[in-house]
A and B are shown apart, each in its own frame.
Chain A
Amino acid sequence: MNFPVIKGAAYGLIQAADMLVHHGTTQTMERTKDAKSEHLKKLPEHLRSFEQAVGYPPNQVYIGNMTPDELINVPRPWYEQPVLGLSRDGKYGEIMPEDEFIGLMKMVDAFELVILEEQFQLGVKEKIVAHPVLGAIKDVVKLDKNPGKAEEIQNLVDNHVAQPMYFEGKLVGCVKRAHEFDEALSNHVMYENLVSKASAAFALQLLLNKTKLKAEEVEYIIECSEEACGDMNQRGGGNFAKSIGEMCGCVNATGSDTRSFCAAPAHALVEAAALAQSGIYKNIVVLAGGASTKLGMNSKNHVEKGMPAFEDMLGAFAIHIGENDGFSPMIRTDGVGRHKIGSGSSPQAVMTAIVADPLDKIGYKILDVDRYAAELQNPEITEPAGAGDVPLANYKMISALGVKRGELAKTDLQKAVDNFGMPGFAPTQGHIPSGVPFVGHALEMILSGKISRTMIIGKGSLFLGRMTNLFDGVSFIIEKNSGTVDTGFNKQEIRVMIAEAMRDFAKTLGEK
């Protein structure tokens, strides 16, 4: 069968400490309840510098300068083990500072909602123009236009018609509301959506810069973040995907948005695989930007425990899916796992549906998969908040499933975990950690022969939307390309077959 392939992956991180303080929901809720709370007082002492964020080992894994296997050998706490000599520029991605990102937010703003203070705008424009990836975006010219005065920005923020944009504690800009009464276009929503759009555009631009894909070759974009754009009559109407493609010059692409909480990237990749395999589109990009709301989500626990507030990273990714080229790692579309509506919600039922069932379809056993990538949240962030080591819990569940299925002995449970697991290295940005951060590493490991296959698992908590108590999960296997491309029908062969059939039919007529 001609399976679709993954041709490239790119990853963006944006360090946004001021955004954590002013826009993370843990902080905004705290500010509403008690603006003078102990947490808000202590938080600034726990913020990281950009250099600290760049040197943080899990971030270096996310952008591809280190491998997940190398992270295993870095002793915890990782925040006390800065990586020396590695830059913000990675093999598959890049870490961006907050000032450049604020500039990028103005570049992706199509409705003049972002106002930047003139001196700040001037300074950040220079940095962006000099940047090899961002400088190529044509909308960089917006940084020449419509700067604001500090007092004007302060007034808009004080009058609650704009969200503030801070850099190093100083008000440098704002995002205005897009409508006077429409809550779906409030300054709060517009801010979140512009953050999501800008960070996704960064990831797409990185993909175009770091792989062979050209902007004009992209035919379809699937955006799979957790935000919703639209107005009060169609909240969540979309279309982030096209707005992001537009920023990066994907003039031949259309696109749409896919949502399923943290499982959305896995859904989107399966959809992209189907579009590529069917031949509807040749080059599809699945992408998502980050969520300002989730910054500092567990910061109360981190501050209380004397740790850095290291949920200061917006995450983004872009993955290129295409037709089989006989070389790139393939997506086994004959064994896609899905948590069905009737599957049940116990962990056992979920893991059976998304891990065991697809393996059975292909005829593989649990241990035939070299690496499992599920919920790759950085444990250093989740453990202090009482959520444990999420990836490790997933690996143990997969291993226990293997024991229950008689595919490995109970005594080998931990050994299997050590073999097919990996430490979590992704920021806690909901949809971002959900399996996809490993795709870049997986491509390289498969192409170099280090592993043969991996399973990417996306899991989502649908009950958060209060529409259902259902859980969600989707999985798929990426494996080494078989090396053969099925070219489909051979026209000459078909002609011969038709000719033979007609000859035979003619004979039957003659016999009468």
Chain B
Amino acid sequence: MENQARIMDFTEKYGNENLIVVLGGGEAEASGLAAETVSTGDPTFAGPLAGVSLGLKAYHIFELKDMVDASVYDEQISMMEMVLDVDAIVQEIKTYRK
């Protein structure tokens, strides 16, 4: 809930067009929920983004692998890349960027 408020503050401060959201969720459904929240609004109607369509594009950190320093990625993310269902997570998040 507090994250939703913070994201809203950022959009007011920097403008929606200057923001993307980077997710680190470990599961497709939960990651999709987060992507949906920052795009079309909080579907659970529980937080400040309920009914607020910010239209922000969300990416999972797995999708940004090539943009991250390889050693940092290896140190921070590579283990989880082996563990999680990367394709399912990315696929779910992509549906909210269309």
| B76–A386 CB distance below 8 A | no
Judge whether B75 is part of the interface by a CB distance below 8 angstroms: yes
Is A386 touching B27 in the complex (CB atoms < 8 A)?
Answer: yes
Which residues of B have CB within 8 Å of A413?
A: 82
Verify A346–B77 contact, CB threshold 8 A. Answer: yes
Q: How many cross-chain pairs have Cβ atoms below 8 Å apart between A and B?
A: 43
B29 within 8 A of partner (CB): yes
B79 within 8 A of A: yes
Find out whether the CB atom of B26 lies under 8 angstroms from the CB atom of A386. no
Interchain CB contact under 8 A, A404 and B79: yes
Query: Is the Cβ of B33 less than 8 Å from the Cβ of A347?
Result: no
Q: Tell whether, in the assembled complex, residue B77 and residue A396 are in contact, meaning their CB atoms are under 8 Å apart.
A: no
Asked whether B83 is an interface residue with its Cβ less than 8 Å from the other chain, the reply is yes
Please tell me if the beta carbons of A400 and B26 are within 8 angstroms of each other in the complex.
no
A400 & B27 in contact (Cβ 8 Å cutoff) = no
> Does A150 sit within 8 A of B, measured CB to CB?
no
A399 CB to nearest chain B CB (Å): 8
Please report the C-alpha to C-alpha distance between residue A387 and residue B79 in the assembled complex, in whole angstroms: 19
Indicate if B30 sits at the interface (CB-CB under 8 A). yes
Most chain A CB neighbours (cut-off 10 Å) among B76, B77, B79: B79
Q: Contacts A386-B27, A386-B29, A388-B26; is A403 near B82 (CB within 8 Å)?
A: yes
A388 touches B77 (CB 8 A): no
Across the interface, B79 reaches (CB within 8 A) one of A386, A388, A397, namely A397
- Nearest residue (CB) in B for A389 is B27
Residues of chain A lying within 8 A (CB to CB) of residue B11:
none
Whether A331 is near chain B, meaning CB under 8 Å from some CB there, is: no
- A410 interface residue, CB < 8 Å from B? yes
| Whole-angstrom distance between the Cβ of B62 and the nearest chain A Cβ | 13
Q: B80 in the interface, Cβ–Cβ < 8 Å?
A: yes
Contact (A348, B33) CB under 8 Å given A386-B27, A393-B26: no
Inter-subunit contact B33/A397 (CB<8 Å): no
A410: which of B29, B77, B82 is its contact (CB, 8 Å)?
B82
Contact present for A397 and B80 (CB under 8 Å): yes
Tell me, in angstroms, the Cα distance from A15 to B36 when the chains sit together: 37
Chain B residues, CB < 8 A from A387:
27, 30
A348 touches B82 (CB 8 A): no
A314 to B95, CA, bound (A): 40
Q: CA–CA, A349 to B77, complex, Å? A: 10
The interface residues of chain B lying within 8 Å CB-to-CB of A321 are none
Write out, one digit per residue, whether chain B residues 54-98 have a CB within 8 A of any chain A CB (1) or not (0): 000000000000000000000111111011000000000000000
Q: Are A351 and B27 in contact (CB under 8 A)?
A: no
Chain A residues with Cβ below 8 Å from B83 are 393, 396-397, 399-400
| Chain B interface residue count, Cβ-Cβ cutoff 8 angstroms | 13
Q: Number of A residues whose C-beta is below 8 Å from B?
A: 19
Say whether, besides A386-B27, A386-B33, A388-B27, A346 and B82 are in contact (CB < 8 Å).
no
- A374 contacts chain B at the CB level, 8 A cutoff: no
B44 closest partner in A (C-beta): A300
Which residues does chain A contribute within 8 Å of B80, judged by CB atoms? 346-348, 397, 400
Which residue, of A344, A349, A386, A399, has the highest number of chain B Cβ atoms within 10 A?
Answer: A386
- When distances are taken between beta carbons in the complex, the residues of chain B under 8 Å from A386 are 27, 29-30, 33
Q: Contact between B27 and A401 (Cβ–Cβ < 8 Å)?
A: no
Nearest to A410 among chain B residues (CB) is B82
Q: Is A347 a contact partner of B82 (Cβ separation < 8 A)?
A: no
Q: Encode contact with B along A380-401: 1 for CB under 8 Å, 0 otherwise.
A: 0000001110000100110111
| B-side contacts of A388, CB under 8 Å | 26-27
Rounded to whole angstroms, the CA-CA distance of A344 and B77 in the bound complex is 12
Query: Which single residue of chain A is at the shortest CB-CB distance from B72?
Result: A346
- Residues of chain A within 8 A (CB-CB) of B33 are 386
Chain B residues with CB below 8 A from A397, complex form: 79-80, 83
User: Once the chains bind, are B27 and A347 in contact (CB under 8 Å)?
Assistant: no
List B contacts of A348 (CB < 8 A): 75-80
- Of chain B, the residue at the smallest CB distance from A386 is B30
Given the known interface contacts A386-B33, A396-B83, A400-B82, the answer about A346 and B27 at a Cβ–Cβ threshold of 8 Å is: no
Q: Which residue of A lies closest to B29 (CB)?
A: A386
Q: Considering residues B75, B76, B78, B82, which has the most beta carbons from chain A within 10 angstroms of its beta carbon?
A: B82
A347–B79 contact, CB under 8 A? yes
* Chain B contacts with A in 23-66, Cβ cutoff 8 A: 26-27, 29-30, 33
B26: chain A residues at CB < 8 Å are 388, 393
Given contacts A393-B83, A404-B79, 19 further A-B contacts (CB under 8 A): A344-B76, A346-B77, A347-B79, A347-B80, A348-B76, A348-B77, A348-B79, A349-B76, A351-B79, A386-B27, A386-B29, A393-B26, A396-B83, A397-B80, A399-B83, A400-B80, A401-B79, A404-B82, A413-B82
Residues of B within 8 A of A (CB): 26-27, 29-30, 33, 75-80, 82-83
Interface, chain A (partner B; CB < 8 A): 344, 346-349, 351, 386-388, 393, 396-397, 399-401, 403-404, 410, 413
